[in-house]
Amino acid sequence: MKKLILSALIIVASSATALAQDAEAGKASFNKCMACHSIGEGAKNKVGPELNGLDGRKSGTAPGYNYSEANKNSGITWNEANFKEYIKDPKAKVPGTKMFFAGIKNEKEVNDLWAYVSQFDASGKIKSK
């Protein structure tokens, strides 16, 4: 029984570490986004909108940002699947978007970036796990 509990604890600890590593790798990937976007406490709109609270936010709704009609009318509510499809090729997902970015094609990098971006709530604080 002790071996079973110890094994379960190791698996849980390994999973938590893997998640943290993904978010850390995503933080490094976010450097590609920083010229246009900000995230975290004190984030402001730049060339692109701030990304706090992206998970569950409707496209085209960040306060104070002047979105394209394409983004405002896309009907997208950001979640993992929509983000991953969008970040690979923004203009294919939302034709007419003013986001000028070729996209990130590497699946691991896309996953890591989502792990990083999705951890922030609307106030820019990291959500408790």
95 Rama class: left (phi>0) / alpha (psi -120 to 50) / beta? beta
Domains identified in the chain, total number:
1
Confidence of residue 4 (pLDDT cuts 50, 70, 90): very low
Any domain includes 126: no
| Rounded alpha-carbon distances, angstroms, from residue 36 to 4, 32, 99, 110, 128 | 49, 9, 9, 17, 27
The per-residue pLDDT for range 111-128, each reduced to its tens digit, is: 999 999 999 999 999 998
> How many percent of the chain have pLDDT more than 90?
82
Q: Answer for the pair 58, 73: CB distance below 8 angstroms, yes or no.
A: no
The per-residue pLDDT for range 29-66, each reduced to its tens digit, is: 999 999 999 999 999 999 999 999 999 999 999 999 99
Q: Is it the case that residue 9 has pLDDT exceeding 80? A: no
- Bridge partners (DSSP) listed for residue 118: none
Any domain includes 59: yes
Per-residue confidence (pLDDT) for residue 129, from 0 to 100: 72
**CA atoms of 129 and 115, how far apart (whole Å):** 12
**CB-based contacts of 94: which residues, under 8 Å, 6+ apart?**
59, 70, 71, 74, 76, 86
Any domain includes 54: yes
Q: Which domain holds residue 101?
A: 2-117
Any domain includes 124: no
Global pTM reads: 0.82
Per-residue confidence (pLDDT) for residue 92, from 0 to 100: 97
Any domain includes 128: no
Any domain includes 43: yes
Mean pLDDT of 100-114: 96
